[in-house]
């Protein structure tokens, strides 16, 4: 604001767009000098020395938390009473904003402690207020918040009732490799998880949130839904494990009985019936669902109690192993024996029945790949801590330490257990006693049964709690409308999602076979782990400025190795399950990309595109593009030479024509428009117009970029655009605009000068020009054209006219047309030789066209070569008369003012004989076009440059005569570069 405005305003306040009141700041303000002074005493002491208008500046006051809290309780806005007596005057009024102390509540600036505001959920508004922060729930540390939940989810049913069986089937050597292989996969995933989780605040959704924000909403939703299915199916796995353990401990509770004979001997082994598993599993699932419906508070109270039986049962198992020789001298339990260790070192894969009991006639065959699928669920659960990020006291520290500690400790326990189980019993005992851990437990096997049941029920409860919240988090992001039924408000329980998860869990329980369910879970979990690794790999490789994780022990190569291990394990388990899971994720991805709502989460792919664009731009360099690599990059002038409806930012056919300049849709178009006015006043209008133009381009399915420029005039705006638009070799090379057919009809006298200036600017900037006449009749993609595409090749243009004709043929609307090349030559030219040369040239260019040579006498008005068309003669006479009148007016004005001839504010030199020659030249060319190409689908003709020192009005008359009665015409001017080449 200038001084005149300040003086006129006096002491009055003025308002900004946001409604905030401001005081004018004048030259003698001391605010700038005292901006850093925040001491209240110095502020108050200096206030008397300030001018009157300075003292009236808006005061910014910081109050105590107690006053803010009392005012808030009464429903009034908080008043700020200074604790140290006099009110403190802000020295930041110069910037027109309140102090950061007031806006953000950063009390540390005034020696008062207050928590910094957290970032809001994407797309949500947040109000940041002063005062005492709202009380929050008890925050958890690393041990109870991350380590214990991960340990509970990792240590489960597989260890208790399958691990000794795996050692007996795969042998000690392969079991050690199996544990190391799967443990390495989860360890690398935990490292990637630690890096991503410490790169910012985490919201609801756990790994879905991390993957979606790193790889985009499509990938996030597809992997998130698969992870939801994995958690729901895992719940059924834990339920079946608990029921099977219960039926083993209490055989009398079984409704159905099954007896299996081992290797044809008379040894009878009772195993739980599949029908018992189904019935009891459904009942247990329903009971757990009622607990889940009770709310997360109830679950959090019950869940920690499940860890104590697990630790107690592990203690009993290891004590029982140490005492096994004394307690079980026979029955296959040898105690820690070197002979048993040697016997069980190698693998012994056998056929089994559906219950896992060895049977030569069994239908289930086992190998190492199947062992991977069976064991891998025993190492899952590393995401349990990240799923509780909202309840952690310090996510940046707890998630990496707790997750990695749980992963390493359980992996080490598995490795030790392989050695102990391998030396503990014979292979037959390992394969037939599915509850060997309970058999050897000290002092009573009941401890193991209780531990198994409580741990598996606790894990099932966690699955039935986490899966619905994952589904609700996906629904709340509002990407897929079909998931709107599962949306929940903040603080509410996802009851509908819980009911849906329970139905899925019951459906898997009905299957009843544990060994058939575990590969399905493995695929979904591995897909999620691969997504986490790929997310970290992409973010670490790109290394964007926003990638600043607190966890420093990571590298993109480790994340890539982790992702590859996940894929390898998936194919090792079952290539058919892998294909199905990837196909399911791909279908969800495709569905989200088609039906989902657009969401920009700042994902890594956007950063990858940016980096790729920069690298490609640098590789292109600044040298001239080779003709083989030349692509048209049109700069399309949207709204010149005529008015359109307010809601139509561009002529509807310009986008159709722009698509005709691309081969198979490849290429970039820049659509621009110019707003007349001052930039500071029209900046918001320009943003709105740019958004409207971009929406229009999306509606027309035209790949292009929208740009709006504010300039004092159209000529100045275009001059700025043609100089600055683009980067390096990605600058526009063709200017496309509509021919101003309305300039004489609507007496728009300013158009000729602007039109000529634009063409001259294109020539100076070395840009090709394509002017479209008859744009209203330009066909869209559904209007098929027949006939010919006629080229009137007059001057050398680098092959641009030929290339445009070939691009037209690639479109469905023009694919039925044929090309005719008319070579305009002087009468004394060797027509046959010229025709042969042009044919040879077109043949070498791989272009099919008929060549026609049209010869004319010297371009002189006295040399008449035939009678032009009547309508052309009439237009020629009219142009002569109008030019004569314009010339007479110029001469009268120059004589009156005593100056030389002036036009458009510039001196001009007019050779009347030359003007007549130009008129006659365009007359002959127009007559030739009408004679040969009246029925052509489209005509292309070379654009003559504006003659130097001629009035712009004269050039418009030449052009009007050239395009007279030609319905659809492209006027083309090349530039000093070849766009086609003869060589391969």
Nearest to 532 by CA among 196, 200, 216: 196
- Which of 769, 800, 796, 809 lies closest to 937, judged by CA? 809
Q: For residue 250, what are the contacts with CB-CB under 8 A and spacing of at least 6? A: none
Contact between 723 and 623 under an 8 Å Cβ cutoff? The reply is: no
User: Rounded to an integer, what distance in angstroms lies between the CA atom of residue 881 and that of residue 884?
Assistant: 5
**pLDDT value of position 416:** 93
CB 804 within 8 A of CB 970: yes
Instruction: Answer whether 299's CB lies under 8 Å from 465's CB.
Output: yes
∠506-510-514 over CA atoms, to 5°?
A: 100
Torsion of CA 54, 60, 61, 65, to 10 degrees: -170
Taking the C-alpha atoms of residue 94 and residue 87, their distance in angstroms, rounded to an integer, is 19
Q: What residues contact residue 655 under an 8 Å CB cut-off, 6+ apart? A: 671, 696, 697, 700, 702, 704
495-511 and 274-293 helices cross at what angle (nearest 10)?
A: 170
- The angle formed by the CA atoms of residues 303, 304 and 309, to the nearest 5 degrees, is 100
**CA–CA distance from 167 to each of 242, 452, 517, 772 (Å)?**
22, 19, 20, 79
Q: Residue ranges of the alpha helices (H) in 296-441?
A: 296-302, 307-322, 324-327, 338-343, 368-375, 395-424, 427-432, 436-440
Residue 841 to residue 835: CA distance in whole angstroms: 10
Q: Quote the CA–CA distance of 349 and 352 in Å, as a whole number.
A: 9
Alpha carbon of residue 144 to chain centroid = 36
Total Cβ atoms within 10 A of residue 664: 8
**What ranges make up the beta strands (E) of 748-905?**
768-773, 788-793, 818-826, 850-856, 902-903
DSSP-assigned letters across all residues of 529-550: HHHHHHHHHHHHHHT-TT---S
Q: For residue 821, what are the β-bridge partners? A: 791, 851
Which of the listed CATH numbers 3.30.540.10, 3.40.50.620, 3.30.460.80, 3.40.50.300 matches domain 626-770?
A: 3.40.50.620
152-595 placed in CATH 1.10.10.10: no
Structural tokens at position 686: 């320009």
The residue written with tokens 């208790």 in the block is 160
Starting at the edge strand found earlier in the chain, the sheet holding 938-942 runs 704-711, 669-676, 634-637, 734-738, 768-773, 969-973, 938-942, 788-793, 818-826, 850-856
Q: How far apart are CA 855 and CA 794, in angstroms?
A: 11
Residue environment code for 901-938, b if the CB has 16+ CB neighbours within 10 A, otherwise e: bebeeeebebeeeebebbbbbbbbbbbbbbebbeebbb
CA of 534: how far to CAs of 105, 240, 385, in Å?
Answer: 38, 33, 20
List of residues 6+ apart from 481 with CB closer than 8 A: 595, 597
Cα–Cα distance, 492 to 176 (Å, whole number):
46
The CA-based dihedral angle spanning residues 841, 843, 848, 850, taken in that order and rounded to the nearest 10 degrees: 50
Within 845-909, where are the H helices? Answer: 870-897
Reference 875, options 923, 916, 933, 921; nearest CA is 923
Distance CA(661)–CA(707), nearest Å, equals 19
CA 285 to chain CA mean position, Å: 39
Listed in sequence order, the DSSP H helices in 271-329 are: 274-293, 296-302, 307-322, 324-327
Cβ(771)–Cβ(657) under 8 Å?
no
Dig out the tokens for 551 from the structure. 């966890």
Joined tokens for residue 187: 């360890």
Give the whole-angstrom CA distance, residue 578 versus residue 573: 8
Separation of alpha carbons 261 and 287, rounded Å: 35
Three-class SS of residue 782?
coil
**Distance between CA atoms of residues 310 and 841, nearest Å:** 85
DSSP 445: T
Nearest to 510 by CA among 247, 229, 243: 243
Contact 813, 780 (CB under 8 A): yes
Alpha carbon distance 649, 690 (integer Å)? 9
With contact defined as beta carbons under 8 Å apart, do 146 and 393 qualify? no
Radius of gyration of the chain (CA): 41
Q: How many residues does the chain have?
A: 984
CA 555 to each of CA 202, 206, 224, 227: distance values in angstroms, whole numbers, following the listed order: 21, 22, 24, 25
Whole-number Å distance between alpha carbons of 569 and 528: 13
| Positions of the chain with pLDDT under 50 | 1-91, 100-101, 103-137, 265-269, 859-866
CB 848 within 8 A of CB 821: no
Angle at 220 between CA 219 and CA 224, to 5 degrees: 120
Asked if 381 contacts 152 with a C-beta cutoff of 8 angstroms, the reply is yes
Q: Find residue 826's DSSP bridge partners.
A: 856
For residue 758, CA distances in Å to 103, 705, 715, 722, 919 come to 50, 21, 7, 9, 22
Map out the domains of the chain as residue ranges: 152-595, 626-770, 774-859+869-983
- Tokens linked to 731: 């600058």
Helix axes 714-724 and 751-764, enclosed angle (nearest 10): 20
Sign of the torsion formed by the C-alpha atoms of 822, 959, 979 and 827: positive
| b/e per residue 806-840 (b: at least 16 CB within 10 A) | bbbbebebbeebebbbbbbbeeeeebeeebeebee
Residue 755: exposure state from Cβ atoms within 10 A (0-12, 13-18, ≥19): buried
Compute the distance between CA of residue 528 and CA of residue 381 in angstroms, rounded to an integer: 12
Q: How many whole angstroms separate alpha carbon 890 and alpha carbon 897?
A: 11
Spatial contact of 110 and 62, defined as CB atoms under 8 Å apart: yes
């Amino acid at each position: 604001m200038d001084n005149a405005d300040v003086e006129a305003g006096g002491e009055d306040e003025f308002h900004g767009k946001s409604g905030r009141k401001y005081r004018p700041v004048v030259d003698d303000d001391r605010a700038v000098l005292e901006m850093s002074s925040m001491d209240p005493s110095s502020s108050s002491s200096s206030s008397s020395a300030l001018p009157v208008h300075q003292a009236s500046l808006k005061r910014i006051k910081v109050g105590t938390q107690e006053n803010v809290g009392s005012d808030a309780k009464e429903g009034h806005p908080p008043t700020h009473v200074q604790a140290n007596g006099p009110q403190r005057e802000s020295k930041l009024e110069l910037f027109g904003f309140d102090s950061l102390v007031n806006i953000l509540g950063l009390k540390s600036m005034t020696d008062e402690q207050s928590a910094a505001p957290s970032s809001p959920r994407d797309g949500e508004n947040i109000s940041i207020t002063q005062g005492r922060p709202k009380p929050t729930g008890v925050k958890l540390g690393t041990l109870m918040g991350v380590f214990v939940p991960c340990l509970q989810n990792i240590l489960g049913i597989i260890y208790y009732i399958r691990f000794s069986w795996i050692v007996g089937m795969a042998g000690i050597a392969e079991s050690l490799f199996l544990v190391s292989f799967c443990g390495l996969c989860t360890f690398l995933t935990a490292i990637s998880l630690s890096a991503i989780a410490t790169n910012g605040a985490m919201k609801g959704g756990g790994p879905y949130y991390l993957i979606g924000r790193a790889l985009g909403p499509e990938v996030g939703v597809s992997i998130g839904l698969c992870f939801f299915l994995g958690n729901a199916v895992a719940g059924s796995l834990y339920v079946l494990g608990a029921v099977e353990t219960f039926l083993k401990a209490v055989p009398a509770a079984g409704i159905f009985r099954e007896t299996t004979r081992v290797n044809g001997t008379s040894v009878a082994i009772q195993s739980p019936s599949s029908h018992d598993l189904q019935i009891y599993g459904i009942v247990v699932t329903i009971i757990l669902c009622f607990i889940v419906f009770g709310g997360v508070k109830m679950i959090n109270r019950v869940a920690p109690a499940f860890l104590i039986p697990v630790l107690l049962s592990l203690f009993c198992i290891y004590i029982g192993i140490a005492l096994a020789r004394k307690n079980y001298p026979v029955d296959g339990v040898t105690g820690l024996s070197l002979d048993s260790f040697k016997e069980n070192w190698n693998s012994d894969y056998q056929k089994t029945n559906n219950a896992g009991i060895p049977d030569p006639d069994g239908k289930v065959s086992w190998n190492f790949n199947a062992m991977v699928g069976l064991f891998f669920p025993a190492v899952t659960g590393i995401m349990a801590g990240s799923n509780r990020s909202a309840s952690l006291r310090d996510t940046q520290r707890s998630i990496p330490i707790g997750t990695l500690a749980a992963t390493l400790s359980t992996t080490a326990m598995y490795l030790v257990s392989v050695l102990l189980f391998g030396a503990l019993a014979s292979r037959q005992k390992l394969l037939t006693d599915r509850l060997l851990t309970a058999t050897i437990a000290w002092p009573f096997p009941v401890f193991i049964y209780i531990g198994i049941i409580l741990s598996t029920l606790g894990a099932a409860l966690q699955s039935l709690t986490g899966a619905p919240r994952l589904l609700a988090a996906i629904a709340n992001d509002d990407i897929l409308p079909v998931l709107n039924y599962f949306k929940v408000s903040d603080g509410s329980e996802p009851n509908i999602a819980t009911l849906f998860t329970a139905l899925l869990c019951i459906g898997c329980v009905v299957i009843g076979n544990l060994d058939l369910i575990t590969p399905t879970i493995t695929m979904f979990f591995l897909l999620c782990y691969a997504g986490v690794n790929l997310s970290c790999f992409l973010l670490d490789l790109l290394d964007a400025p926003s990638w600043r994780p607190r966890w420093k022990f990571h590298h993109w190569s480790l994340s890539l190795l982790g992702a590859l291990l996940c894929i390898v394990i998936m194919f090792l388990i079952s290539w058919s399950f892998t294909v199905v899971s990837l196909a399911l994720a791909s279908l969800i991805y495709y569905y989200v990309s088609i039906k989902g709502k657009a969401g920009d989460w700042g994902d890594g792919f956007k950063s990858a595109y940016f980096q790729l664009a920069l690298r490609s731009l640098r590789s292109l360099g600044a040298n001239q593009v080779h003709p083989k690599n030349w692509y048209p990059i049109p700069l399309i002038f949207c709204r010149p030479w005529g008015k359109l409806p307010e809601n139509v930012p561009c002529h509807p056919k310009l986008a159709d024509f722009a698509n005709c300049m691309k081969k198979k849709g490849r290429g970039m178009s820049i659509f621009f428009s110019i707003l007349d006015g001052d930039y500071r006043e029209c900046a918001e209008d320009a943003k709105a117009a740019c958004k409207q133009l971009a929406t229009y381009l999306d509606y027309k399915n035209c790949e292009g970029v929208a740009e709006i420029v504010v300039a004092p005039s159209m000529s100045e705006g275009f001059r700025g655009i043609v100089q600055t638009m683009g980067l390096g070799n990605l600058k526009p090379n063709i200017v496309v605009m509509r021919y101003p057919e309305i300039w004489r009809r609507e007496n728009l006298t300013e158009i000729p000068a602007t039109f000529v200036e634009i063409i001259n600017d294109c020539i100076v900037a070395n840009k090709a020009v394509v002017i479209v006449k008859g744009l209203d009749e330009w066909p869209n993609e559904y209007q098929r054209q027949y006939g010919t595409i006629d080229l009137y090749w007059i001057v050398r243009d680098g092959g641009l006219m030929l290339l445009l004709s070939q691009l037209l043929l690639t479109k469905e609307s023009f694919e039925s047309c044929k090309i005719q090349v008319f070579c305009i030559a002087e009468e004394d030219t060797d027509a046959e030789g010229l025709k042969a040369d042009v044919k040879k040239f077109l043949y070498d260019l791989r272009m099919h066209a008929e060549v026609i040579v049209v010869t004319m006498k010297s371009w002189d008005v006295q040399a008449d070569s035939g009678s032009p068309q009547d309508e052309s003669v009439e237009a020629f006479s009219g142009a002569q008369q109008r030019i004569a009148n314009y010339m007479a007016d110029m001469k009268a004005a120059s004589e009156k003012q005593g100056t030389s001839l002036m036009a458009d504010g510039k001196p001009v030199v007019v050779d009347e004989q030359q003007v007549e020659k130009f008129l006659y030249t365009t007359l002959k060319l127009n007559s030739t076009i009408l004679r040969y190409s009246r029925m052509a689908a489209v005509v292309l003709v070379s654009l003559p440059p504006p003659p130097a020192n001629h009035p712009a009005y004269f050039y418009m008359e030449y052009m009007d005569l050239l395009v007279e009665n030609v319905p659809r015409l492209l006027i083309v001017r090349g530039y000093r570069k070849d766009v086609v080449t003869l060589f391969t």
